[in-house]
Structure 1
Amino acid sequence: MLVVVVLGALGVLQVLVALGAPLGRFVWGGGHDVLPARLRVGSAVSVALYAGMAVVVLDRSGLVTVLPDGFARAATWVLVGYFAVGVLLNAVSRSRAEARTMAPTCLVLALLTAAVATA
């Protein structure tokens, strides 16, 4: 499932920046090469959120069964909206690196999640 692969890649990026890797230009507005402590915590929390998103998509796809069907169905559409908003927010980022990588990533996630939601 490609959605889960992309979410996993984002999770790896967030782990790296949370550990101090100089990749901050791709996340959190791109204002720091190495994230300050508060944003590192945010990156760590993001990893857990990505895992939750993956569970929703996997459940809606029928690959796992851990969520009530109605919840999984609604949550998948919430994710479609979330990723669509992410396209816009990342596209207007002052960080060129973030805009050029995260806006397309969010677009891919929005489209793939919409495909899962409509299946």
Structure 2
Amino acid sequence: MTVQIAHLYATAMLAIAFFQVALIFGAPLGRFTQGGQHEGALPLSGRIIAAVSIPVVLLQGLAILSAAGFPGLGWPVWTGWVALAVTGVSTVLNWITPSKPERMVWGPIMLVLSAMGLVVMTA
């Protein structure tokens, strides 16, 4: 069961990476990210932040997969704990953002991802 939860976590992180790609290419979703400071497409600085977040979320997914014992990874267990910590911080930030659309969409998503990461790391 833990491997399945880790797989769902990693798949969600992949979806988040695709969301970031959409932001980079100008998707008008600025109010759903980065505090909702930009209506429509993000400016260059916001797109750079989106680009930097892509490897972070992908590494988080891989770290949780590895912690669940997914074949072929074998990363140190501490990487899973770091991934869980980053997910937890992201959860808090998405719940306290001034952007209501960001809170309503990403708050629950990140809460579920934190719970999934916690299940994997404590199994």
**Which TM-score applies when normalising by structure 1?**
0.88
SS of 1:35's equivalent in the other structure is coil
Contact kept? 1:79, 1:110, Cα under 8 Å: no
Q: Is there any run of 5+ residues in structure 1 with no aligned partner, and where? A: none
Are residues 38 and 67 of structure 1, via their aligned partners in 2, closer, same or farther at CA, if it must alter by over 3 Å? farther
CA distance in structure 1 between the partners assigned to 2:106 and 2:42 by the alignment: 17
Deviation at 1:97, TM superposition (A): 0.8
How far apart are residue 67 of structure 1 and its match?
4.2
In 2: Cα distance, 1:51 partner to 1:86 partner = 14
Q: 1:35 to 1:62 in 2, by over 3 A?
A: same
Q: SS state of the match for residue 98, structure 2?
A: coil
Residues 77 and 38 of structure 1: CA distance in aligned 2, closer, same or farther (over 3 Å): same
The aligned counterpart of 1:52 is 59
1:14-45 deviation per Cα after TM superposition (whole angstroms, max 9, x unaligned): 10011100011111111112101011011112
* CA offset digits 1:61-99 (Å, max 9, x no partner): 12133344xx2x112122222222222211111111111
Same amino acid, percent of matched pairs: 31
Match runs of 1:1-119 below 5 Å: 1-32=7-38, 33-68=40-75, 71=76, 73-119=77-123
Asked whether the equivalents of residues 66 and 80 of structure 2 are also in contact (C-alpha less than 8 Å), the reply is no
User: 2:4 corresponds to which residue?
Assistant: none
CA RMSD of aligned residues (A): 1.4
Q: 1:35 and 1:44 mapped to 2: Cα distance?
A: 12
Unaligned runs of 5+ in 2: 1-6
Residue-pair matches, total = 116
